[in-house]
Amino acid sequence: MEREQAEERIAALSEELERHNHLYYVEAKPVIADRDFDLLMKELEGLEACWPDLASPNSPTQRVGGDLTKEFTTVAHRWPMLSLSNSYSREEVEEFVQRIVKEHGQVTFTMELKYDGVAIGLTYQDGQLLRALTRGDGEKGDDITANVRTVRSIPLRLRGNPPAELEARGEILMGRKEFDKLNSQREDEGEELFANPRNTTAGTLKLQDPKIVAKRGLQNFIYTLQADALPTRSHYGNILQCHAWGFRTPDPSKRFIEQAVTLDGIMAYIAHWDQARHTLDIAIDGVVIKVDNIDLQEELGLRAKSPRWAIAYKFQAEQKFTRLNGVEFNVGRTGAITPVALLEPVELAGTTVKRASIHNADQIAKLDLHIGDMVQVEKGGEIIPKITAVDLDRRAAGAMPVVYPEDCPACGTTLVRDEGEAQHYCPNEHGCPPQITRRMEHFTSRRAMDIGGLGGETVEVLFIAGLARNVADLYDITKEQLLALGKGWGERSAQLVIDGIAASKAVPFERVLFALGIRHVGETVAKKLARAVGSMEKLAAMPPEELTAVNEVGTVIAASIHEFFGVEGNRMTVERLRNAGLQMAMEASASIVAGTKLKGLSFVVSGVFVNFTRDGIKEAIENNGGKVGSSISKKTSYVVAGADMGPAKRVKAEELGVPVISEDELKHLIDG
Ligand code: IVH
C-alpha cells in the first residue's frame, strides 16, 4: 500500500472505530458485533505498525499506554474544583430554593443524580484530550491521564466544533456488576475483597499500570463544563452540548437529569430517586439541585469551597434493626476465617438481608455482640450490609456473648493470628476439609483449569467419597468410580467430567500456575511469572530476591511463592500433576528469563517482531531490569527495531547516535 492510501485508510478506520466506540459506551446502542470491531482495530493496528509516524497519539489504538506511571505529578486546576454543600433534610432544600426564588422570581433548576464515585476534570485542547486531573485539594490535583484514557466512554477526540480549550468535569464510577465480578475474581485468588465500588474506583485510578485499569470497566458521566466562552448560558444546554461533542452525560429520558421551576417539581425528583436509586447499576448518594442560568449562577457566586447556586440532597443510608440469630465462622481457601452474622431476614435497600459481614474478632469485641441482640444493619455504599450498632436496652437477661473460636470450626486446629493482621487463619492447609475443597474448586474453575462439570458441590462429593483429597487425585479418577457414586451420576455426567479432566492437560502453563492457588498469585501475576520465568521447575528453585526482579512481583508475593514451594506436600502435588501430563513450562518462543542484565539501560521499541508481541518484548526488557520509553532521546540506550520501524524514528536514532538493534540482538544482551 502506498503511503497516501495508508493515510486515508487510517483516518477512515479511526473515525469508524470512534463512532462504534461511542455507540457502544456512550449511547449503549452497539451496531456491530464485537468481533467485527476487533477486526477493524487489528487492521488499524497493522497500518500504524507499518507507518508509525502516521499514528496519532489519540488514535483508537492508543487508549492503553505501554508505560508504567511511577509517580503522579500534581498540576494546578485552571478553574478551582469546588464541592457542594450537603443537606440531609427536605427542609434545607426548601430553604435553599425559597431563598433564591424570593430574590430572583421564577428560576429554573436543573436536578441531577449525585454520583458516588471519583471526581475528574478532563482538559481538551483543540478537541484532543490533553489531561485528566483528580480533584485533589480543589486547587491542584493529580495527573492521572494515562489511566483515564482507558475509560471507554471518555472521548480522546471530540466531535463538532468545541472551543479551543475546555474542561469537562464529571465522575468516574464502577458499576455493581463490574464490582461483583472483580471481587469474585479476588476471592478466587485468595485476595482481600474490596469494600465498595467508590474506593475501588479511587484505588484503580491510582494504579501504576494502565493495562489493569483498562480491564476494570470504569464508567464516566459528565456534569459540568468549564470554558472561557461557554456554548450556552444554560447549564442544561451545556450538558446537551457536551453530549453532542461525544461525552457520556446524564440521560434525560431516564430522569438522570431533569428541570423544574417549582419546589414540588424538585421534591418529586428527590422522592423518585430516593426510591429508585436501588435499581441502578451505579451508586448514587443523593441528588444535586443547580440553578440553571449561568448568569444567575455568577451573580449568586461562591462560598469558600462551594457555590451558592447549588445544593446536594444526600439520601439516608438505609438502616434497620433486626435480631442476631447467630454467627457463622467460615473457612476460606487460604484458611482465613470470616465471621458472618446470621440475621432475622429484613428488607433493606431493596433486598432481603439475611447475613451481614463482621470483619474480624476486633469488630465482635467492639460491638460486644451477644446472641439474640437487636442489631442495627446498614447498607451504605457497601454491597454487603454491615452491623453498625447494638440496642443494649433490648438485650435479654442471660444472653450469651459471641465468642470467637480458638480452634478451627471445620477441623479443630488451633487458629493463628499473625502480628499486625486483623484476621485469624487455620494453619492446617493440608488437612482442613473446606480449605481443600475450596482449593480444588478454584483449581477446576473456568479461569484456571476449566474442568466443566466439576463445580463446588461436585468437588465436595468427590472429597467426601474419598476420591479426591488433593487436586492431583483428580487425574487418577476413573469413569467407573464416578458411576459407582450412584445418585445423580449417569453415563453422560461421568463422561463430561472425565473429558474435562483430560482436556485440562492442554491448559497453558500460566493457568496451571494460577490454578495452584498460591496466595497473592492471581491471574495477572501468574501470567507475568510464567512469561518471565518460563517453567515450574525454575520458579520452584528461585530465591525471593530473584523473583522480585519480575515486573509486578513484590516482596510479599515473592515470599508467598517461596513458602509454597518450601512445603513438601506442595512439591509432591506439583510433581504428580507433572506426571499426569499438565503443562509445566511456557512454549519455547514465548519465554524469556528474568534477570538484571539490562539494569540502567533504557529502550524504545518500535515495529513488529517475529518472536514477541510488542507488549511481550517490553515485558522482557522490564523483567530484566531495563526501562522502556516511548520516544527516542539522548538518554535512550538502544532502539529495538522490528520489521517496518518508521523512517522518522530511524532518522532520529541516527541523529542522536542511539544504536538500533534487532530482537535477536536484544536476546543476546539478556542472555549475556
Ligand atoms: S457539581 C460546584 N454535579 O459531588 C459544582 N457534583 O460534594 C460541584 N458529584 O466533587 C460539582 N454528582 O465529585 C456535581 N451531578 C453532580 C455530581 C457531583 C456527584 C460529586 C463531585 C463533587 C462532589 C461534591
Phi, psi (5° rounding) for residue 671? -75, -10
Ligand 1 centre from 254 Cα, in Å?
Answer: 19
Of 343, 363, 394, the domain-final residue: 394
**Contact criterion met (CB below 8 Å) for 617 and 609:** yes
**Cβ(557)–Cβ(191) under 8 Å?**
no
| CA distance linking residue 36 with residue 60, whole number of Å | 15
Q: Which residue CA neighbors atom 17 of ligand 1 most closely?
A: 114
pLDDT band at 381 (very low <50, low <70, confident <90, very high): low
Round to whole Å and give the CA distance between 142 and 121: 10
Residue 657 has pLDDT above 60, yes or no: yes
Q: Specify the number of domains making up the chain.
A: 6
* Secondary structure letter of residue 84 according to DSSP: -
**pLDDT tens digits for range 257-279:** 999 999 999 999 999 999 899 88
466 plus 343 within the same structural domain:
no
14 against 352, higher pLDDT: 14
Q: Are 291 and 323 found together in one domain? A: no
Kindly state the average pLDDT of the residues 147-175: 97
* pLDDT band at residue 577 using 50, 70 and 90 as cut-offs: very high
CA angle 394, 397, 402 (to 5 degrees): 85
pLDDT tops 60 at residue 588: no
What's the CA-to-centroid distance between 376 and ligand 1, angstroms? 30
Categorise residue 143: left if φ over 0, alpha if ψ from -120 to 50, beta otherwise.
beta
Choose one of 285, 288, 290 to mutate for the ligand 1 pocket test, by most ligand atoms within 8 angstroms of C-beta. Answer: 288
Nearest-CA residue for atom 18 of ligand 1 = 114
Residue 447 lies in a domain: yes
Q: Which residues line ligand 1 (CB under 6 A)?
A: 82-84, 112, 114-115, 119, 135, 171, 223-224, 288, 307, 310, 312
- Beta strand 602-606 with 638-641 is parallel
Cβ–Cβ < 8 Å for 537, 584: yes
* Interatomic CA distance for residues 351 and 45, integer angstroms: 46
Burial of residue 33 (number of CB atoms within 10 Å: 0-12, 13-18, 19+): exposed
What is the pLDDT averaged over residues 124-146? 94
Residue nearest atom 2 of ligand 1, based on CA coordinates: 82
- For residue 63, tell me if it sits in a domain: no
pLDDT for 619 equals 81
In 3D space, the residue among 441, 426, 456 whose CA is nearest the CA of residue 337 turns out to be 426
Helical (H) or strand (E) element with 578: helix 568-580
Q: Are strands 602-606 and 627-629 parallel, antiparallel or unpaired?
A: parallel
Q: Which atom of ligand 1 is nearest to the CA of 83?
A: 24
The arithmetic mean of pLDDT across residues 572-598, rounded, is: 83
Same domain, 125 and 255: yes
AA identity, residue 665: E
416 located within any domain: no
Q: How confident is the model at residue 301 (pLDDT cuts 50, 70, 90)?
A: very high
- Report how far ligand 1's centroid is from the alpha carbon of 64 (Å): 27
Q: Are residues 231 and 274 in the same domain?
A: yes
pLDDT tens digits for 447-502?
899 998 888 788 999 999 999 999 999 999 999 999 999 888 899 989 999 999 99
Model confidence at 512, in pLDDT bands (50, 70, 90)? very high
Q: What CATH number is given to the structural domain containing 188?
A: 3.30.470.30
pLDDT score, position 585: 92
Q: Report the nearest atom of ligand 1 relative to the CA of 169.
A: 11
To the nearest whole percent, how much of the chain has pLDDT over 90? 67
Cell 488514535 belongs to 59
- Print the domain residue range for 361: 318-394
Tell me the C-alpha distance between 462 and 446, whole Å: 19
**Mean per-residue pLDDT of the chain:** 91
Quickly list H helices, 120-262: 145-148, 176-188, 197-205, 210-214, 235-245
Q: Which residues of 421-448 are buried (b: 16+ CB within 10 A; e: fewer)?
A: eebbbbebbebbbbbbbbbbbbbbbeeb
